[in-house]
Structure 1
Amino acid sequence: MSLTAWLRRLVPERAPGPEPSASPGAWMDLLPAGLEPVGAALLPGEDGSRLSVSAGLRVATAAEMAVGYEAGAVLPREPWRPMTRAERDRVLCTDPDPARDVAVVRLPPGSLARIRACGEPVEVLSDLRSVCRLDGSLDVLGAGSNPPGRQTVTIAPETGRSIGMHLDSWDNLPLEARGLSSNRICVNIGRESRFFLFVPVSLMDMPALLAERLGPEEPPADTPLYRLFMAMFPEIPVLRCRVDPGEAYVAPTECLVHDGSSLGQTGLDEQFTVRGFITALPR
């Protein structure tokens, strides 16, 4: 059986709109004792209102594949809702682990104009160092853009098709060493808010949950672990974090199933990205 057929058997195609679901926050009960969701460190004084929660995961519909999604792509299932108090208590953190958690930082005044105007990307690293510690060798990917109004933005260059929720593999380390991978900072240099989407379970924690649920079910050979997890746990939500112009997210995208989103934008979704070993400075 192909991976696509196997995914569709376990995660049936669903329309994007509402459907009956468990009570908000019930997904946290799936996490074994001692396993915490991926944390989110927001700006000082924030209560979590920039975060919203999907109704789970779903496979892209035939209509979505017809407009560019690859077969088997997994997307957030709507509707989105605010976080519950219990979710805020479990997810919000103040001391993010750069190999596990997500942080939002705000660059100093003037940074956005400098980044937009820079001739050499390395010239803006001092602005990033005002809010983050940048260690090791840095890979300045620089500026990029996406069309507005896209529920996810990443496209596979070899096929030109949207891949949906995915895992980066720039460093391509094995599972047992993934926590040593580089992470990224991505600055919103556009003029409208954009979103960072992520599944709130670290790649390193997925095997423990899969071992309990998979039982005798045999996935196709070479099934990526993160795709297997999303197929077996469609009730796990996606968290959506708003990132305003002049703000950035810091995230371990080699350990976190994620994507960006330009929904709600009317102009280009513009961002500036640096990879390395990046830690948000204490608030």
Structure 2
Amino acid sequence: MPLHVAFTDRGGLRGRCDVAAVRTVIGDPAFEDGAVVPSGLWQPLSESAAQALNAPPWTPPSTLVEIVRPPAPNGGKLEDLAQQIGDEQAQYLGQALAKPDMITTTENYQDGRLIGLHLDNWDKLNYGQKTTGRRRLALNLGPGTRYILLGALDAQAVCRAVHPEDYAYRCPSTDDYRAHVAAGHPIRCIRIRLAPGEGYIAPTEYLLHDGSTDNQDQPSAMAFWLGRWQRGTLPSLV
């Protein structure tokens, strides 16, 4: 399934979204060679593009993006917040701090280079299972505003395109997206603005994604959980 967002306020969604193409990074020491990043030529999300993102009622929750307001920690431990977010089995992944003005934010822990837009692989899912993974809940702890970046083409579609002969036996990966983009195939990237206290629930095992503080002058920290949430468990911002 393509990128689907749950919303009831199309204007509210458009007001916090932009869209751009992606490109491959070669020869930039800050990034892994072959990393996929937004082109930077951001355009407002059009009315028709917003409508195309609208999630039908039958969209499986495990493939759905929601823009939400998680409960405030209120001085408690972040790892204990799962009891208030609808899945007591949710796994707290920790926090990540992003410096200001980063195109993408996730680093390769081995050498510090940025990996660009990528797929998570916490659940180690093969092609046929890729729609069943846990979703990631993220809460912007501030102090700055930041973005969630999302690719509009899902992991199964990219895997089929890159491995037409044996895709059913593959585990879709970030490398599939890199090969797809390097071969000249376009992928739209949507960025969604998140102020402090705002967050998202997204299928990061299924959709290309990363954080961004592009053109922001403050750092921001993000807290993350993995879990299974039904649609509408947390209050929607759109």
TM over 0.5: yes
The one-letter code sitting in structure 1 at the alignment partner of 2:64 is: D
Question: Displacement of 1:125 after TM fit?
Answer: 2.5
Q: Identify which range, 92-101 or 244-253, moves more after superposition.
A: 92-101
Structure 2: distance between partners of 1:264 and 1:140: 29
Question: Is 1:106 matched up with 2:69?
Answer: yes
Shift of 1:50: 1.0
Structure 1 residue corresponding to 2:209, chosen from 251, 258, 265:
258
The one-letter amino acid paired with 1:247 is: E
The separation in 1 between residues aligned to 2:113 and 2:174, in whole angstroms, is: 20
Alpha-carbon distance change, 147 to 74 in structure 1, aligned in 2, over 3 angstroms: same
Please say if residues 24 and 178 of structure 2, whose CA atoms lie closer than 8 Å, have aligned partners that are also in contact: no
Pairs within 5 Å for 1:152-167:
152-167=104-119
**Aligned position for 1:124:** 81
Q: Check the 8 A contact 1:53/1:83 in 2, yes or no.
A: yes
1:71 — aligned with what?
33
1:249 aligns with 2:203: no
1:179 aligns with 2:131: yes
Map 1:231-250 onto structure 2 (within 5 A): 231-250=182-201
Give the whole-Å Cα distance in 2 for the aligned partners of 1:183 and 1:92: 18
Question: Does the C-alpha gap of structure 1 residues 47 and 177 become closer, same or farther in structure 2, counting only changes over 3 Å?
Answer: closer
- 1:37 and 2:2 equivalent? yes
Q: Which residue of 2 aligns with 1:4?
A: none
Structure 1 stretches lacking a partner, 5+ long:
1-35, 215-221
Aligned position for 1:22: none
SS in 1 for 2:224: strand
Distance 1:86 1:121 in 2: 38
**SS of the counterpart of 2:109?**
coil
Post-superposition shift, 1:187?
0.5
> What is the rounded CA distance, in whole Å, between the counterparts of 2:14 and 2:161 in structure 1?
26
User: Are residues 235 and 226 of structure 1, via their aligned partners in 2, closer, same or farther at CA, if it must alter by over 3 Å?
Assistant: closer
Please name the residue that 1:267 is paired with.
218
Q: Which residue of 1 aligns with 2:158?
A: 206
The TM-score normalised by the length of structure 1 is 0.71
C-alpha displacement at 1:40, in angstroms? 1.5
Matching residue of 1:134? 87
Q: Is the counterpart of residue 59 in structure 1 residue 7 in structure 2?
A: no
Instruction: Quickly say closer, same or farther: Cα 1:142–1:208, change in 2 above 3 A.
Output: closer
For the 8 Å contact 1:184–1:278, the answer to whether it is kept is no
Deviations 1:221-257 (A, max 9, x none): x993222232345432211111121111100101111
Q: Does the 8 Å contact 1:100/1:202 carry over to 2?
A: no
CA distance in 1, matches of 2:39, 2:203: 23
After superposing on structure 2, the runs of 4+ consecutive aligned residues of structure 1 that deviate more than 6 Å are none
C-alpha separation in 1, matches of 2:190 and 2:180: 16
Once the two structures are TM-superposed, the CA of residue 47 in structure 1 deviates from its matched residue by 4.4
Structure 2 distance, partners of 1:147, 1:138, is: 27
SS at match of 1:254: coil
Give the distance between the partners of 1:175 and 1:58, measured in 2 at CA.
25
Q: Give the number of aligned pairs.
A: 225
Percent identity of equivalent pairs: 26
